[in-house]
Amino acid sequence: MPPQKSSTTRVPEISKQQLEDIVRNVRIKTNTGPDEFEELDLSMFSTIDEQLEFLKQQDRVDTMYIM
Supply the pLDDT for residue 17.
Answer: 94
Domain ranges of the chain: 16-65
Supply the pLDDT for residue 5.
Answer: 67
Q: Tell me how far apart the alpha carbons of residues 5 and 65 are, in angstroms, rounded to a whole number.
A: 12
Per-residue pLDDT of the chain (67 residues; tens, 9 = 90+): 666 667 777 778 889 999 899 889 989 999 988 888 888 899 999 998 999 999 999 988 887 877 6
**Nearest by Cα to 67 from 1, 9, 3:** 3
Q: Which pTM does this prediction carry?
A: 0.55
